[in-house]
Amino acid sequence: MKTKAAVLYEHGKPLVIDELELDSPKVREVSIEYRAAGLCHTDLSLINGVARMCPLPCVPGHEGAGVVREIGPAVTTVKPGDHVLLMWVPVCGRCYYCLRGQPYLCAEKDKNRGGAMPDGTYRLRKGRRTVHSMMGVGSFSEYNVVAETCVLPIDPSIPFDIAAIAGCGVITGVGAVINKAKVKPGNSVAVLGAGGVGLNVIQGAVLSNATKIVAIDILDNKLELAKVFGATHVINASKEDPLKKAFEITNGIGVDYAFEAVGSAETTLTAYQLIRRGGSVVIVGVPDLDAKLTLPLAEIPVMEKSILGSFYGSGDIRSELITLLELYKAGRINLENLITNRYRLEEINNGFKDLEAGKNARGVIIYE
């Protein structure tokens, strides 16, 4: 069949709205009619060429939700007509990590980072040229074929745009707080970067009953949004010293947990300086591959400071996502206000301009 898609042919150039050929799903694969796709910073890094996790040409987009149209042989968990959200970490259930309760580290994801199906082949083409699907999801296409391990059936009452964003920034931010840091009632939390992930760190801190939640960013519009999501204090680091202010807020002690959601060595160092003795930095933002960090090493044992990494929510991905959508239905987490703009597929390059300009918590493509 044919599908309309936004294709990346060259790094640093706008996406091209093009018509591609799509094959039918093979064993343990499903075809999806996407209804919504999130515009994430990771897509922008791929488009700009800063991160090159997918060979070109490529259909970017790793946040999506839609309807199952067709299933390949041996598919057992979904059927045509099911509403699903996409997970960009497939959960194979059989690898070293899955068997040890760490499905977010599943070894299968090493394969789909190259934009191929788990069997190493491809379903999208332009003429005779293979087109890769970013992270095995490729949601900037009206239709695509994905591995069964990447889809989660959802309650059809949940809007597609809400489901699409749950599968990336929401699980990453909330999960880092609950599963990795295990923030407790009364703890103090700082968040560096109040974008799509940082706002969800704030939501996780609210769910954990943290009493001081300090959002740090350099844009006032993002800090205003941080307050909507539950930040008790905000610091504009372009106007005031975040260290001085955060120590004032915590009576000179420092915070229990600092979450780095920018992905830079500079903000990670600030996060490290913000934590109290015995505190932890949780790195959620993904820096460039060549980024290096220099730290005052003696503080790690002497002050018992910890540095933790958190990837894709650090939990049981499927049950975490089901829980997050239940929390959304119960009004306990705010997903509506994460979506700041909606675009048609043809407007996708404007959506990325808005993201780059700091206007979007999340922009979402809506397929009509």
Task: Pick from 5, 92, 170, 365 the residue near Zn ion by CB under 5 A.
Answer: 92
Q: Closest distance between Zn ion and the C-beta of residue 107, in Å?
A: 5
For residue 2, the tally of other CB atoms under 10 A from its CB is 10
42/232 with CB nearer Zn ion: 42
Mapped onto helix, strand or coil, the DSSP state of residue 302 is helix
CA distance 304 to 306: 6
Closer residue to Zn ion (CB): 95 or 269: 95
Question: Rounded distance, CA 72 to CA 5, Å?
Answer: 22
Which residues 187-216 are close enough to bind Zn ion by CB under 5 A? none
Q: Which residue number places its CB atom closest to Zn ion?
A: 40
**Looking at 44, 95, 243, 295, which residue binds Zn ion (CB under 5 A)?**
95
Question: Is the Cβ–Cβ distance between 355 and 341 less than 8 Å?
Answer: no
Q: How far is the CB of 97 from Zn ion (least distance, A)?
A: 6
Cβ proximity of 354 and 129 under 8 Å: no
- Token pair, residue 139, equals 């949601």
Cβ 185 to Zn ion shortest distance, Å: 30
Beta strands in 50-92 (DSSP E): 58-59, 64-71, 83-86
Is the CB of 106 or the CB of 192 nearer to Zn ion?
106
Q: Is 286 in the site for Zn ion (CB under 5 A)?
A: no
Report whether 140 contacts 6 (CB < 8 A).
Answer: yes
Site for Zn ion in 108-137 (CB under 5 A): none
Distance of CA 30 to the CA centre of its chain: 22
Q: How buried is 51 (Cβ within 10 angstroms: 0-12 exposed, 13-18 middle, 19+ buried)?
A: middle
Q: Sign of the C-alpha dihedral, residues 86, 288, 338, 242?
A: positive
Using CA atoms of 263, 266, 270, 272 in order, give the dihedral in degrees to the nearest 10.
Answer: 70
Q: Count the alpha carbons within 13 Å of 127 in the hemisphere toward its beta carbon.
A: 2
CB of 289 vs Zn ion, minimal distance in Å: 17
In the complex, least distance from residue 92 CB atom to Zn ion, rounded to whole angstroms: 3
Nearest-angstrom CA–CA distance, 214 and 55: 39
Q: Are 28 and 150 in contact (CB under 8 A)?
A: no
Closest CB to Zn ion among 139 and 187? 139
Query: Strand pairing of 255-260 and 58-59?
Result: unpaired
Q: Given candidates 8, 15, 36, 98, which one binds Zn ion under the rule CB under 5 A?
A: 98
168 binds Zn ion (CB under 5 A): yes
Residue 170 engages Zn ion in binding (rule: CB under 5 A): no
Count of other CB atoms within 10 angstroms of residue 125: 14
Stretch of 103-111, 279-287, 322-330, 331-339 contacting Zn ion, by CB under 5 A: 103-111
- Shortest CB 168 distance to Zn ion, Å: 3
Binding mask 13-52 for Zn ion (x = CB under 5 A): ---------------------------x-x----------
How far is it, in rounded angstroms, from Cα 344 to Cα 351? 9
Choice between 147 and 234, CB closer to Zn ion: 147
* Residue nearer to Zn ion on the CB measure, 41 or 233: 41
Q: Of the ranges 44-52, 91-99, 293-301, 314-322, which one interacts with Zn ion (CB under 5 A)?
A: 91-99
Does the protein bind Zn ion through residue 106 (CB under 5 A)? yes
Q: Compute the least distance from the CB of residue 135 to Zn ion, in Å.
A: 9
In the complex with Zn ion, the residue whose CB is nearer, 162 or 168, is 168
Binding flag, residue 85, Zn ion (CB under 5 A): no
Which residues contact Zn ion by CB under 5 A?
40, 42, 92, 95, 98, 106, 168
